[in-house]
Amino acid sequence: MSDFTHIDKDGNAVMVDVGAKSTTERSATARGSVIMNAETLQKIVDQGFKKGDVLGVAQLAGIMGAKKTPELIPLCHPLMLTSIKVHLTCDPDRNAVDIEATCKLSGQTGVEMEALTAVSVAALTVYDMCKAVDKAMHITDVRLVHKAGGKSGEFKAD
């Protein structure tokens, strides 16, 4: 018997049956960063990339990523998201673009994967748009920082 909800007693992958769960307001917030050279960050701030506004495009990509989560993660339920907010900020002290995504819904299962996917896709978009000038960038610290709603209640990362 497994403690994992997506594995049945025979070891097969299964999509969790949430049919009997109560509908509640649920939200999740994830964060991550893209670390880069100082010159790359300044070019983002100055909107100096030929591909366009890096932060604006990455924000839209993050929103689209949240909406596409069940197509990317095999056992995720398709959800009727009521809100997706993705914010990108530049931190010159760390030469970083910091990304935060919050997803909300009223439903029978949580939105952690949607928030994490939004951050991941936004980070990958920053990388894609800047890779011509900085191949040494790295994506780091993608994590869930807050979750609310459902039977398990609230989670806040340390």
Amino acid at 16: V
* Catalytic choice (3, 10, 91, 128): 128
Looking at the DSSP bridge assignments, the partners of residue 77 are none
Amino acid code (one letter) for 63: I
* pTM (two decimals): 0.91
d(CA 156, CA 99): 17
Nearest alpha-carbon partner for 45 in 112, 91, 103? 91
Sole residue written with tokens 């990509």: 61
- Whether 46 is catalytic is no
Residue 65 binned pLDDT confidence (cut-offs 50, 70, 90)? very high
More confident residue, 150 or 35: 35
Please report the beta strands in 2-137, taking only residues with DSSP state E, as ranges in sequence order: 24-35, 83-91, 96-107
What is the four-CA torsion angle of 37, 101, 120, 12, rounded to 10 degrees?
A: 160
Q: What's the pLDDT tens digit per position in 79-130?
A: 999 999 999 999 999 999 999 999 999 988 889 999 999 999 999 999 999 9
Q: Using CA atoms, how far apart are residues 133 and 92, in angstroms rounded to an integer?
A: 17
List pLDDT tens digits, range 12-55.
777 776 767 778 899 999 999 999 999 999 999 999 888 889 99
- The contacts of residue 135 (CB under 8 Å, 6+ apart) are none
Q: Extract the runs of DSSP E, i.e. beta strands, from 92-137.
A: 96-107
